[in-house]
Chain A
Amino acid sequence: MEWTRRAFMKGSGLALFSASFGGTPLFLSRAADAANNPLAHSRRKVLVTIFQRGAMDGLMAVTPFNDAALSEARPNLFMHLTDPKNELTDLDGRFALHPSFAELAPLYKEGRLAIVHGVGSPNKTRSHFDAQDYMENGTPGVKGTRTGWLNRAVGLLGHEGTPFRSVALTRALPRAFYGKEPSIAVDDLRSFGIQVPNNPQAAEQVEEGFESMYARSAKRLMQRVSQESFDAIELLEKIGVRDYKPAEGVEYPNTSLGRRMQQIALLIKSDVGLEVAFTETGGWDTHVQQGTTTGSFQRRADEMSKSIAAFWADLGTYQDDVVLMTMTEFGRTVHQNGSLGTDHGRGSCLFVLGNNVAGGKIHGDVPELLVKDALEDRRDLPVTTDFRSVFADVAGKHLNIDRSHDIAMFPGWEGERFKVMT
Chain B
Amino acid sequence: MILRVALAVLCCGALLAVAPANADLQLPYKAEGLSKEQAAAYLLERFAFGARPGEVEKVAKMGPEKWLAQQLKGNLPDAELDKRLEAFPALKMTQEEMAATYVQNGRIRRILQRQGVIDAAKMERKEMNEKISAYRKEHGLRGYGLLSNQELKGQKLMRAVYSENQLAEVMTDFWFNHFNVTTRDGGARSRTLSYERDAIRPNVLGEFRTILGATAKHPAMLYYLDNAQSRMAPPEQRQQAKPEPKQEMASGEMGMDGGMDGDMGGEMAKAPEKAPAKAQTPPQRRRKYGLNENYARELMELHTLGVDGGYTQQDVTEVARVLTGWAAAPYGNGRKNIEKQMANGNKNNILQGDFVFRKSWHDDKAKVVLGEKFPAGGGLEEGERVLDMLTSHPSTARFISTKLARRFVNDAPSDDLIDEMAETFTKTNGDIAAVMATLAQSRVFWAEAKKRSKMKSPFELAVSSLRALEADVKNPQPMMRWFDRMGEPLYGYLPPTGFPDYAESWANSGTLIARMNFGIHLAAGRINGITLKQLPENSGSLTTEQALAMYSKLLLPAQDTSAIASEVKETVPADAERKEVQVISMLLGSPEFQYR
Interface residues of A (CB under 8 A from B): 53-55, 76, 124-130, 132-133, 137, 142-146, 163, 170-173, 175, 178, 180, 182-187, 192-198, 202, 205-206, 208-210, 212-214, 216-217, 219, 221-222, 225-226, 228-229, 232-233, 255-256, 280-283, 285-289, 296, 299-300, 329, 338-340, 343-344, 377
Contacts and interface: CB of A to CB of B under 8 A. Distances in A.
Contact of B496 (A144, A225, A340): A144
B113 interface: yes
Given A127-B248, A285-B250, A171 B507 contact: no
A137 B493 CA distance: 13
B594 interface: yes
Contacts of B520: 194-197, 206
Contacts of A125: 243, 245-246
Contact of B564 (A142, A172, A213, A280): A213
Given A124-B243, A130-B246, A285 B252 contact: yes
Contacts of A193: 513
Interface string B200-241: 000000000000000000000000011000000000000000
A386 to B, nearest CB: 17
Given A171-B255, A256-B262, A129 B526 contact: no
Interface in B272-287: 272-274
Contacts of B121: 76, 338-340
B297 interface: yes
B254 interface: yes
A219 B248 contact: no
Nearest to B298: A144
Contacts of A339: 109, 113, 120-121, 272
Given A129-B248, A173-B487, A343-B247, A280 B260 contact: yes
Contact of A217 (B187, B264, B271, B591): B591
A171 B484 contact: yes
A285 B245 contact: no
B524 interface: yes
A329 B254 CA distance: 14
B586 to A, nearest CB: 6
A173 B489 CA distance: 9
Query: Which of A212, A225, A281 counts the most B-chain CB atoms under 10 A from its CB?
Result: A225
A183 B255 CA distance: 19
Nearest to A228: B509
B192 interface: no
A229 B513 contact: yes
Nearest to B504: A221
List the 7 closest pairs (A to B, CB-CB), nearest first.
Answer: A209-B571, A282-B252, A339-B120, A285-B250, A282-B264, A53-B251, A217-B591
A377 B263 CA distance: 35
B522 to A, nearest CB: 11
Given A171-B255, A219-B591, 20 more contacts: A53-B252, A127-B187, A128-B186, A128-B249, A171-B261, A172-B255, A173-B487, A195-B517, A196-B524, A213-B564, A219-B595, A226-B512, A229-B509, A233-B513, A282-B260, A285-B252, A287-B273, A299-B267, A339-B113, A343-B247
A214 B595 CA distance: 13
Given A163-B509, A194-B517, A216-B563, A285 B251 contact: yes
B513 A194 contact: yes
A60 to B, nearest CB: 16
14 contacts: A54-B250, A124-B243, A127-B185, A170-B261, A193-B513, A194-B513, A196-B585, A198-B526, A206-B571, A283-B268, A288-B106, A288-B271, A329-B251, A343-B274
Which residue, B121, B184, B225, has most C-beta atoms of chain A within 10 A? B121
B590 interface: yes
A212 B225 contact: no
Contact of B263 (A128, A210, A256): A256
Nearest to B592: A217
Contacts of B524: 196-198
A396 B499 CA distance: 29
Contacts of B267: 282-283, 296, 299-300
Interface string B474-491: 000000000011010100
A1 to B, nearest CB: 11
Interface in B495-524: 495-497, 503-504, 507-510, 512-513, 516-517, 520-521, 524
B467 to A, nearest CB: 23
A287 B274 contact: yes
A280 B254 CA distance: 13
Given A206-B520, A283-B267, A283-B268, A178 B510 contact: no
Contact of B260 (A171, A213, A343): A171
A417 B460 CA distance: 45
B158 to A, nearest CB: 22
Contacts of A329: 251
Contacts of A128: 186, 247-251, 254
B376 interface: no
B246 A126 contact: yes
Contacts of B545: none
Contacts of B260: 53, 170-171, 280, 282
Contacts of B591: 213-214, 217, 219, 222, 226
Interface in B92-142: 106, 109, 113, 120-121, 125
A46 B187 CA distance: 36
Contact of A144 (B249, B256, B301): B301
B512 A132 contact: no
A217 to B, nearest CB: 4
B186 A127 contact: yes
A146 B307 CA distance: 12
